[in-house]
Structure 1
């Protein structure tokens, strides 16, 4: 174990290969898993989905009522990867420049200077994103899809590991603007945190007596942003058999033929689904995927994309999955 820790904390993390590489990568993921579970008690499945979304280089949409830990998980994630955390509170008067940044004239130098917005971070929390106007929401399109922004015809690159966690309140709809389908398709998954069970809620109360904080303070991050990029590239090497890949396409076309679905999954959505399945398999300790991996993440991947004449996306997704034959080998 000492050799593994030494390797993880050195530049040899990138050069590791074979069994040593797998051991080091798994140790890094385990440290992040512990940190996030400490921050969000009793929500192991939510933590696994957040980790899978991060490793798949996706973005996360959380739809839930206030006070369940949306900000907590975002701050804990930024601390775990040693990245810069930024938060923006979305309101109707928020402007696109408040997100991307803008040029301002410096009277001393007689030149324009660029003041970067909150997107120039590693983890961005867009709180109550549906309270921003459609014009302002669109400022995130390029950032989420290409990890860059264009301001005054100048393209500026964001962090390679740029990760968005957006939240919206499903209860209070006064003064909100529905997210456009084009933006929903840029999120990898949508999930809800839900209430903790009584035992974990008691532990949470006991842990925060006299601390005044909800996020575990750590002296050092669990991994570095550079190591996170290595992990994300490693996820792409998780094997997807041709029969499993064909299964994804068959499910995608089933959404496109379903009478109740007016907006089915797009090819970009299928690509994200494949990455989520690869990340989910890696979190389960495998270097190959099975149909079960994709079925387990399907409600969250498809749920953020499908729209139509139905009130329960989960029921439609379950129905579609039941009608598509699953490869047995």
Structure 2
């Protein structure tokens, strides 16, 4: 779709208007780092169950999701393509890296320079991941709790530079909702466009004043731990969303659940599953007074705008 606005999915490029309701931060297939196995609850290795879960989401009105699993967390883009084809749900795959907790003992990220990371990201975005021919549609970078390590800063810098080269969007991982301001500073210093960046997991720490300031700087707020009551109750998430909408920042919010555990997925006998947001959270927001236009902007328009590739800047 050269010359046109597009979203890059695992099955190819599509118009942004084709996405529909979109979850912006989820996991379908994982093989987590040794330090993060947690008795295999974090191991999502059954393609049939993943396809079933996505089909349930589609029955709830879901049209697309961003699968943010990176190499150190067991990314399998060939499986993602099969799941997307079987379920009819658009899936966007990810390049980049998360944080030291994930890559330690799995990948040699500590030894990679910025240029090497930029090349890796650019190839996976524009040519394909490994021999699969499947291309990533979003760049991921992240940081540790209450700090950004030197290697994490290199990954964030590389993500920004890869965005400049390709025009791809960036999504981030903030551990426990911390260091978002620092991530924003590193990314913008390296050339990233704030309007092309979603800062993730901000609803793990509902500092609405900080979120308001980030949104006013152009960033999208990833409220993507929905249903995880042990971080923040959904009642607080709902109120935070309403406050941001009242402040005129409805165009800076996206939703997701970041569900990466068997115990969180219906197909594994757990819950609430990917369908929670369309079936439970959206009706809750409406009951609290959020109008249909705002619901559409948060769940359909904002993800589509965020995921749309922009023509890279010319030298």
TM-score normalised to the size of structure 2?
0.28
